[in-house]
């Protein structure tokens, strides 16, 4: 049974024989191991060429910025999964990554698409940046689509990581059309929405990466990779100072049962 | 209902307030973003302190070495998962990570435990390294436990990544007791097992990382993090040149049905 | 840090104390275990009340119909994951479930939404069923949205499972507005699309379940639950007659490397 | 590259052609859909033959018993994953299943292995059941291995589900050597361990299923399948009355930061 289309039958990422492993055209052993950083390698795997120093620095800064922010939901889910299934660290990492979805860490990729739409609008309509922002944000709001990359539950005034990332992009000399757009959205959004939403880390990441030449379709991978590093740190701590079950119990205890019950039954607190 | 023990109720990885995010004692925005590499950050998250230049170089080299080796099973599973569920990139990454188990990428952590057992044997019994290797490998073989970190289906003569990693550790000046043990196992194993098994990348990774001071319990995270980078590259390619269904179909076609069947029924090839 | 909205703080599914476990208002031990079937329990958990005999029969028939169809991509991914990580059966099941996405097993839920839209169109516009089908299918095709639940790569003439499910719904006396719509789509689609697409199992499942009173939002769970049963059977077979690595190798072997390479390098076949 | 062994190349579960789908020798459409229950189908997929009425009743009772027990850790993790990634229900189900590990739902399979070891001891040594229990439990305790299937954090006196399952097995006429062993462990364990541990649901499930002829290697699948049904119910509720983020926030708030910090920094509560 042939499921799906079968138009392609090749990969351009890696080939090997008994002596040599080639990654994106480079000899892995002779040219890469011990000579390039992991961040260089990530860029090579994703974009197909080794990064410039500026590109590497921008990618490094985004990965450092988004990796760790304490006991966020994906970390909580991952640590309770390790508590329940300590035989499979990979399962706990996977459970954490599964929470990198549209509402939380997916915002980077969605904000990248928003900025790209604004850039297209700007080019197609010869609009100035503010006009293009108003037009595209208006379209989002007309269908009640949330504006990704702005607003944060803790960092309400502004997200210090976002500011710093823009600063790094300027220092590295890559800030361009996408940063300009992201800053225009930041400036106009309070007025357009009536709410004091400021650029958050998930808005700054696509702005600086797209300006640096990182592929739009691979944006979603950046927070996933960064979060994997955080999960590995948390899962090491979970092995030595476990809090997974305590967090699960505390989570359950915040919820009460309000369904039907046999006569005389009283539920314990969860 | 209280499930599990609740001895601990603290984390030492990250704390924050509206202005500041602290990671392992450092101000994330002021001290880390734009100043350190992602590899520095990984070391910081896992080990609790920033790495020396030598430590960073060794960790970089292991992550680069293990990230990518073509269409290995975890990549195959991940790409067919994205083909079936393109709405959830995080699900395809998770499916790939779930294959980082004891048989494949888990060998790094298992080899780390083997080397640690040999080191302990050596210290407790004041044995020389060869004696300690013979003793511990003998124990493994007595219970038919495989020796992790040696032998490779493709790189039969030797795994060029393993040699290169040991070389990098020497260049960086961190090679010590663990590398000595890993090389002793490499030398003695053909004689002890009667099979021409040579150190593979999963044997070299724990040797150089443990000598560099990386925590034993976090070894399993290294191939998982590296493979996540590879998966992101492959999933970008899967979005533009999909082969997931073709691989699933080819995999199924290699298997035939040999169960019972109603009279006259002939199964198509899978 | 408070992430997300916190409007609700209750569950109506289950409460318990040291003596009694209540599920959807019933005493689990006194009223359910040993008295009802698992399918009754599934309906109870999802819909909140015990099913009638007809409802149970329809749910049983859909779960039986969709559970097993050989080495489909989710099964292939799951079996290769167990081969790589035999210590974690739950990880292999999870990897299989992650392939129950929009392209493959998600079609049931999408077809349910399509039928619901057609029903709404019919009611709002007092249209006859054919008119409502033409209108809604026309809307889908205007935005190049695929029509879920019709067409099958192997069962091209018709999907025998779909016919049988409709027959069971008629026998059970539940066939109603949704089955009428599903059959109208089946009749009109070849004409509307110019392609000989016939109702498949993922079209029949929502038709019969929605007519039986099963909740629309829980449709996606039906193929996931059924496939879990299939995965458990396959993972037992994988433990005793492993084919996971053979399938991964055969999948990889169908793909060649077409990227750049150092001079003189020839890739082995994958 | 050939990874792993390739001894087998066949499956006995399902084969098909354009007209017919065969499952374990039966015509899926003609013989199974609409005629057998989902529980029959599960038994057929796993054990290879259709169950007797007694076998089906025992399997039904175990699936009903273990499916739902409120906001246990796997449900908590699953609901917070859906809150973060609502686009992928399959990802939230997978996250929940990943928590079905050795500490929580894996106890059924481990207790099955314990009982099997006791049965073997009994046969090999012509021991009476109490002697065999003392011997095998003694071996577990000598290496500080926990005794799976006994003790419960909420149901301390006894687990009412366990009693009921044993009762159902007696009613169905299948209770035999495994139930006898499970009850002997229940009787002797307080004396052997000095702790008032009573048989829990994960002890009763393997006892009644193994007596009914269910395969030992497939035991782990039973709680996974049952829990999948529970997850589907909870994820429907999460779509209509979301509590995932509230539980994640409450879990995090139970933990404080005790790591190093820059001078003057005070962490907010999590």
Q: pLDDT tens-digit profile of D240-256?
A: 999 999 999 999 999 99
Task: Write out the DSSP string of chain A.
Answer: ---S-----EESSEEE-SS-EEETTEEIIIIITTTS-HHHHHHHHHHSSPPPHHHHHHHHHHHHHHH--SS-HHHHHHHHHHHH-TT-HHHHHHHHHTT-STTTTTHHHHHHHHHHHHHHHHHHHT--HHHHHHHHHHHHHHTT---TTB--SS--S--HHHHHHHHHHHHHT---HHHHHHHHHHHHHHHHHSS---B-HHHHHHHHHHHHT--GGGTTHHHHHHHHHHHHHHHHHHHHS--HHHHHHHHHHT-EE-S---TT--PPP-
Give the per-residue pLDDT at C158.
85
Half-sphere exposure of C169 (CA within 13 A, CB side): 28
Give the containing element (helix H, strand E) for D35: none
Query: What is the reported pLDDT for C127?
Result: 81
Q: Tell how far CA A24 is from the center of its chain.
A: 24
What local confidence, expressed as pLDDT, does residue D37 receive? 98
**DSSP state at residue C30:** I
Beta strands in chain D (DSSP E): 10-11, 14-16, 21-23, 26-27, 256-257
> CA-nearest residue of chain C to B250?
C251
- Beta sheet of D21-23, edge-to-edge order: D14-16, D21-23, D26-27
Backbone angles phi, psi at A221, to 5 degrees: -70, -25
* Tens digit of each residue's pLDDT, chain A (270 residues): 788 878 899 999 999 998 899 999 999 999 999 999 999 999 999 999 999 999 999 999 999 999 999 999 999 999 999 999 999 999 999 999 999 988 888 899 999 999 999 999 999 888 899 999 999 999 999 999 999 999 888 877 789 999 999 999 999 999 999 999 999 999 999 999 999 899 999 999 999 999 999 999 999 999 999 999 999 999 999 999 999 999 999 999 999 999 999 998 998 877
Contact B94, A81 (CB under 8 A): no
pLDDT of residue A125: 83
Q: What is the pLDDT of residues A100-145, one digit of tens each?
A: 988 888 899 999 999 999 999 999 888 899 999 999 999 999 999 9
Tokens (6 digits) for A173: 């000399």
Contacts of C98 in chain B (CB under 8 A): 81, 85, 88, 91-92, 94-95
Contact with chain D for residue A38, Cβ under 8 A: no
- Does the CB of A154 have a partner CB in chain C at under 8 Å? yes
- Give residue B139's pLDDT band: very low, low, confident or very high (50, 70, 90): very high
Q: Which of residues 52-91 of A touch B (CB under 8 A)?
A: 57, 59-61, 63-65, 67-71, 83, 88-91
Q: Which chains touch D (3 or more CB pairs under 8 A)?
A: A, B, C
Q: What is the Cα–Cα distance from D195 to B98, expressed in whole angstroms? A: 37
Tokens of A203: 């808005």
In this structure, the strands spanning D21-23 and D14-16 are: antiparallel
d(CA C219, CA C113): 10
Q: What phi and psi values does residue A143 have, to the nearest 5 degrees?
A: -105, 20
The predicted pLDDT at position C180 comes to 98
Q: 């496939």: which residue's tokens?
A: C227
Rounded to the nearest integer, the mean pLDDT of chain D is 95
pLDDT computed for residue B76 by the predictor: 97
Residue A124: exposed, middle, or buried by beta-carbon count in 10 A (0-12, 13-18, 19+)?
exposed
Three-state SS for chain B is CCCCCCCCCEECCEEECCCCEEECCEEHHHHHCCCCCHHHHHHHHHHCCCCCHHHHHHHHHHHHHHHCCCCCHHHHHHHHHHHHCCCCHHHHHHHHHCCCCCCCCCHHHHHHHHHHHHHHHHHHCCCCHHHHHHHHHHHHHHCCCCCCCECCCCCCCCCHHHHHHHHHHHHHCCCCHHHHHHHHHHHHHHHHHCCCCCECHHHHHHHHHHHHCCCHHHCCHHHHHHHHHHHHHHHHHHHHCCCHHHHHHHHHHCCEECCCCCCCCCCCCC
Interface test with C, best of B1, B84, B152, B231 (most C CBs within 10 A): B84
Query: Cβ–Cβ of A153/C104 closer than 8 Å?
Result: no
Q: What's the confidence (pLDDT) of residue D4?
A: 80
Report the residue of D86, D233, D254 to disrupt the C interface, i.e. the one with the largest count of C CBs within 10 Å: D233
Residues D54/D61, Cβ–Cβ less than 8 Å: no
**Chains contacting chain C through 3 or more C-beta pairs under 8 A:** A, B, D
Task: From C246, A11, A18, select the one nearest B71 (Cα to Cα).
Answer: A11
Cβ <8 Å between B89 and A5 = no
Tell me the count of A-B CB pairs closer than 8 A: 322
- What distances in angstroms separate CA A6 from CA B241, B250, C149, one per listed residue? 10, 11, 21
- pLDDT for the residue numbered D7: 85
Q: What are the Cα distances from residue D76, in Å, to A2, A246, B235, C46? A: 38, 12, 29, 17
Q: Cα separation of B107 and B124, whole Å?
A: 25
Residues near C210 by beta carbon (within 8 Å), at least 6 away in sequence: C112, C115, C116, C178, C216, C219
Mean pLDDT calculated for residue range B224-229: 98
How far apart are the C-alpha atoms of C181 and B193, rounded to whole Å? Answer: 68
Question: Cβ contact (<8 Å) for B70 and C103?
Answer: no
* Distance between CA atoms of residues C166 and C88, nearest Å: 39
CA distances from B32 to A230, B48, C172 (A): 15, 14, 66
Bridge partners (DSSP) of residue A22 are: A15, A27
Q: Say whether residue A192 is in contact with chain D using an 8 A CB cutoff.
A: no
Contact between chains at B22 and D73 (C-beta distance less than 8 A): no
Handedness of CA C52, C58, C63, C68 (dihedral sign): positive
Is A12 an interface residue toward C (CB < 8 Å)?
Answer: yes
pLDDT, mean of residues B234-255: 96
Q: What is the pLDDT of residues B53-69, one digit of tens each?
A: 999 999 999 999 999 99
Closest by Cβ to D262, choosing from B22, B85, B87? B22
Tokens of B142: 């007595």
Residue D262 has pLDDT above 80, yes or no: yes
Dig out the tokens for A135 from the structure: 């037009």
Cβ C66 vs Cβ D45: under 8 Å = no
Residues whose CB is less than 8 angstroms from the CB of residue C123 and which lie 6 or more positions away in sequence, other chains included: none
Give residue D23's pLDDT.
97
Strands D10-11 and B256-257: parallel
The length of chain D in residues reads 270
| CA A140 from centre of chain | 21
Rounded distance between C-alpha atoms, residue B258 and residue B249, angstroms: 18
- Judged by CB atoms closer than 8 Å, whether chains meet at D70 and C13 is answered as yes
Contact B146, B113 (CB under 8 A): no
The residue of D77, D257, D270 whose CB has the most chain B CBs within 10 angstroms, and thus the best one to mutate to test that interface, is D257
Closest to D176 measured CA to CA, from D134, D209, D131, D211: D211
Report the relative pairing of strands C10-11 and A256-257 from DSSP bridges. parallel
d(CA C20, CA C17): 5
Question: Does B217 reach chain D within 8 Å, measured CB to CB?
Answer: no
Strand partners, B266: none
pLDDT at A154: 81
pLDDT number for residue B152: 84
User: Mean pLDDT in chain B?
Assistant: 94
Which helix (H) or strand (E) element contains residue C16?
A: strand C14-16
Nearest to B107 by CA among B11, D140, B99, D87: B99
Cα(A241)–Cα(D133) distance, integer angstroms? 35
Give chain C's residues under pLDDT 70.
Answer: none
Does B236 have pLDDT greater than 80? Answer: yes
């Amino acid at each position: 049974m042939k499921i799906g289309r079968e138009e392609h039958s090749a990969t351009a990422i890696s080939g090997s024989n008994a002596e040599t492993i080639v990654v994106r055209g480079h000899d892995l052993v002779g040219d890469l191991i011990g000579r390039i950083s992991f961040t260089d390698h990530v860029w090579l795997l994703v974009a197909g060429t080794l990064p410039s120093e500026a590109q590497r620095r921008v990618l490094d800064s985004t990965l450092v910025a988004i990796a760790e922010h304490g006991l966020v939901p994906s970390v909580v889910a991952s640590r309770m999964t390790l508590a329940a299934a300590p035989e499979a660290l990979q399962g706990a990492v996977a459970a954490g990554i599964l929470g990198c979805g549209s509402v939380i860490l997916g915002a980077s990729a969605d904000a990248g698409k928003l900025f790209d739409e604004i850039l297209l609008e700007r080019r197609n309509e010869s609009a100035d940046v503010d006009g293009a922002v108003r037009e595209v944000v208006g379209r989002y709001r007309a269908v009640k689509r949330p504006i990704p990359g702005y607003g944060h539950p803790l960092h309400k005034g502004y997200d210090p990581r976002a500011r710093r990332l823009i600063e790094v992009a300027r220092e590295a000399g890559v800030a361009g059309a996408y940063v300009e757009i992201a800053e225009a959205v930041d400036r106009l959004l309070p007025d357009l929405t009536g709410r004091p939403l400021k650029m958050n880390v998930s808005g700054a990441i696509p702005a600086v990466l797209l300006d640096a030449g990182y592929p739009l379709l691979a944006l979603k991978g950046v927070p996933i990779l960064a979060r994997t590093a955080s999960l590995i740190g948390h899962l090491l701590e979970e092995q030595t100072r476990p809090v997974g079950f305590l967090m699960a119990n505390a989570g359950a205890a915040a919820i009460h049962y309000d369904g039907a019950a046999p006569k005389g039954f009283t539920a314990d607190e969860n």
